Amino acid sequence: MAGIVAPKTDKKLPKYMKLAELQQFLRYLENDRHPFALRNEALFKLLATSGMRRSEIVELTWGQIDLNEKTVLIYGKGKKERLLPIHPMVIQPLSVYRDTLTENERYETEPVFYSKLKVALNVRSVHKLFKELLEKAGLPSNRFSLHHLRHTFATILLQQDTKVDLRTLQELLGHSSLATTSVYTHVDLEQKKKAIDSFLKPPNN
């Protein structure tokens, strides 16, 4: 069996939220009046606009965030560091959320996102929270997992008119290999439709 090479399996395209779905989710977060709504808005806006991994967001401490410079320092796989700009839409909710915490809770070694029991959120609890908020936002929670926010970030960046090159996306996502990032170069159905419609179409005079 040692000399037998296993057949290659087709890679599935990553699932992601459409831009309209993501905007619907973010609008719900902005208008929610739950006691932890501010934390939730800062948490999921940061995840959605940075491409951070689930493990990276729950391990985030205040010492990694610089609100003056609008940057966040991420410790990725293998403790590799990457410095990311914080999206403008995250600055205000993150700043206001920080102001609601005690001085001890804002200490640089303290976790950014607490649970109601005043302990750091973990991946499982954030995933459960994400599903609950999707339902409240009127979106199908069975279609998306927490990791799909990372796929959504990468896909939307590549679909925009001012397309991001793969090398920049690789740096943003913290991929060690460009081959890993290249999975996001898939063409969505709308782009395929435009391509088919343009086939044999007479040029404009």
Both tokens of 4, joined, read 């037998």
pLDDT category at 189 given cuts 50, 70, 90 is low
Q: Per-residue pLDDT tens for 54-83?
A: 999 999 999 999 999 999 999 888 778 889
Distance from chain centroid for Cα 184 = 14
Catalytic-residue membership of 163 = no
Least reliable range by pLDDT among 6-15, 57-66, 109-118, 152-161: 6-15
Catalytic-residue membership of 175 = yes
CATH code that applies to domain 21-184: 1.10.443.10
Dihedral of the CA atoms 72, 77, 80, 86 (nearest 10)?
-10
Of 152 and 67, the structure prediction assigns the larger pLDDT to 67
Contact between 96 and 88 (Cβ < 8 Å) = no
A 10 A CB-CB count for 200 gives: 6
Q: Looking at residues 142-158, what average pLDDT do you find?
A: 85
Catalytic one of 16, 28, 97, 184:
184
Catalytic one of 45, 53, 54, 151:
53
Both tokens of 109, joined, read 């070694």
Which residues make Cβ contacts (< 8 Å) with residue 17, sequence separation at least 6? 25, 139, 144, 148, 149, 152
Tell me whether residue 199 is exposed, middle or buried, using C-beta atoms within 10 angstroms of its C-beta: 0 to 12, 13 to 18, 19 or more.
exposed
Catalytic-residue membership of 53 = yes
Residue 134, pLDDT above cutoff 90: yes
Catalytic-residue membership of 143 = no
Tell me whether residue 171 is exposed, middle or buried, using C-beta atoms within 10 angstroms of its C-beta: 0 to 12, 13 to 18, 19 or more.
middle
C-alpha separations of 1 from 4, 14, 50 in Å: 5, 32, 44
Query: How high is the mean pLDDT of the chain?
Result: 84
pLDDT category at 147 given cuts 50, 70, 90 is confident
Catalytic one of 27, 77, 106, 163:
77
Dihedral of the CA atoms 72, 73, 75, 80 (nearest 10)?
130
The SS3 assignment for 74 reads: strand
A 10 A CB-CB count for 125 gives: 16
Helix %, strand %, coil % of the chain (to 5): 50, 10, 40
Q: Looking at residues 18-47, what average pLDDT do you find?
A: 94
Catalytic one of 39, 45, 54, 150:
150
Least reliable range by pLDDT among 21-35, 80-94, 99-113, 172-186: 172-186
Catalytic-residue membership of 147 = yes
Least reliable range by pLDDT among 32-46, 81-95, 149-163: 149-163
pLDDT category at 11 given cuts 50, 70, 90 is low
Q: Per-residue pLDDT tens for 103-130?
A: 999 999 999 999 988 889 999 999 999 9
Catalytic one of 87, 98, 127, 147:
147
